[in-house]
């Protein structure tokens, strides 16, 4: 039974594509055959983050039009052959995709992959509706900021009316020091407000930018950077492994952290 998971956020730029690329590679490395589908075909980026931008010839569009076979459109990752990329469409054909098309293409992918990850475009309009049409589960990505959390809430409401289950949360770009100083929403604040189980927590990490420069996701070479480890752990949890989540704002960081913990003590 394959699992089709929508990776969405509502708000743009919170880290959906970065998560899709890293999670795809991590799942593949853990032995699961995985396809990543770029549903954000108007502004596609997933190919770039995976370093596959020069190898795209066809898209799902040509597969559905029967001008090529699925195998021809799938771009297999050289270093991690368990992972394949399928762009949903061509940036020049903005009108083409419908929820029906999406269901057909995902149906084909589900026949041969354990995991199908769908990188959703930002927003809650047609692009989102198309991407959600074929999804069974969802991961909502957000950052600890009011606008991102509010938009995540809208998306969660829409996913629930579509009976997409389970819906899990990845909290991205966490700054432990700001959180410890109570200048950033706490992890518990976000999970309470959105009432979703936490699947992963990714800190703000410069290595994310370095890895996108290279087109090599952090999980590809088993990077021990904080974000790399976090993405690998998301993959492990998704596969049912119990990996505890550590709140970095509560980790011991010397005197300063102990002081800020003291300041967080509830007095009444």
Ligand X SMILES: Nc1ncnc2c1ncn2[C@@H]1O[C@H](COP(=O)(O)OP(=O)(O)OP(=O)(O)O)[C@@H](O)[C@H]1O
Question: For binding to ligand X (CB under 6 A), which residues are involved?
Answer: 9, 12-18, 40, 45, 122, 172-173, 202, 204-205, 208-209, 212, 227
CB of 222 vs ligand X, minimal distance in Å: 17
| Lookup: tokens for 108 | 């084909």
What b/e sequence results for 87-109 when a residue is b if at least 16 CB atoms lie within 10 Å of its CB, and e otherwise? bbbbeeeeebbeeebbeebbebb
Q: Choosing among ligand X, Mg ion, another protein, none, which partner's interface includes residue 172 (Cβ < 5 to 8 Å by kind)? A: ligand X
Regarding 157 and contact with another protein (CB under 8 A), the answer is yes
The one segment of 33-41, 95-103, 181-189, 235-243 that binds another protein by CB under 8 A: 181-189
The one segment of 34-42, 111-119, 205-213, 257-265 that binds another protein by CB under 8 A: 257-265
Q: Closer CB to ligand X, residue 110 or residue 144?
A: 144
Regarding 150 and contact with another protein (CB under 8 A), the answer is yes
**Beta bridge mates, 142:** 171
CB of 262 vs Mg ion, minimal distance in Å: 40
Among the listed residues 177, 151, 107, 108, the one whose alpha carbon sits nearest the alpha carbon of residue 16: 151
DSSP secondary structure of 158-200: HHHHTT---EEEEEEEE-HHHHHTTSS--HHHHHHHHT--EEE
Regarding 193 and contact with another protein (CB under 8 A), the answer is yes
Q: How far apart are CA 202 and CA 196, in angstroms?
A: 16
Regarding 17 and contact with Mg ion (CB under 5 A), the answer is yes
Regarding 212 and contact with Mg ion (CB under 5 A), the answer is no
Regarding 247 and contact with another protein (CB under 8 A), the answer is no
Sheet holding 167-174, edge to edge: 75-76, 83-87, 34-38, 115-119, 3-8, 137-142, 167-174, 198-203
The one segment of 96-104, 106-114, 150-158, 168-176 that binds another protein by CB under 8 A: 150-158
Q: Before 166, cis peptide (omega within 30)?
A: yes
Return residues touching Mg ion (CB under 5 A): 16-17
């Amino acid at each position: 039974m394959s699992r089709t998971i929508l990776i969405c956020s509502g708000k743009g730029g919170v880290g959906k594509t970065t998560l899709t690329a890293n999670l795809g590679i991590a799942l593949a490395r853990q032995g699961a055959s995985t396809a990543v589908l770029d549903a954000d075909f108007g502004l596609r980026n997933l190919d770039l983050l995976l370093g596959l931008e020069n190898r795209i010839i066809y898209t799902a569009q040509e597969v559905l039009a029967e001008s090529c076979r699925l195998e021809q459109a799938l771009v297999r990752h050289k270093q991690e052959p368990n992972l394949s990329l399928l762009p949903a469409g061509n940036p020049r054909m903005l009108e083409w995709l419908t929820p029906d098309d999406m269901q057909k293409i995902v149906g084909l992918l589900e026949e041969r992959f354990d995991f199908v990850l769908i990188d959703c475009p930002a927003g809650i309009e047609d692009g989102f509706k198309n991407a959600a049409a074929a999804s069974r589960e969802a991961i909502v990505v957000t950052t600890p900021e009011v606008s991102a959390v509010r938009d995540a809430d809208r998306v969660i409401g829409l996913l629930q009316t579509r009976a997409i289950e389970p819906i899990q949360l990845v909290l991205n770009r966490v700054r432990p020091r700001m959180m410890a100083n109570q200048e950033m929403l706490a992890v518990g604040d976000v999970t309470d407000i959105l009432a979703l189980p936490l699947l992963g927590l990714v800190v703000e990490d410069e290595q994310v930018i370095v890895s996108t420069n290279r087109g090599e996701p952090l999980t590809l070479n088993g990077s021990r950077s904080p974000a790399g480890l976090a993405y690998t752990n998301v993959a492990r949890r998704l596969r049912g492994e119990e990996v505890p989540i550590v709140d970095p704002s509560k980790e011991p960081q010397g005197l300063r952290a102990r002081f800020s913990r003291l300041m967080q003590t509830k007095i009444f």
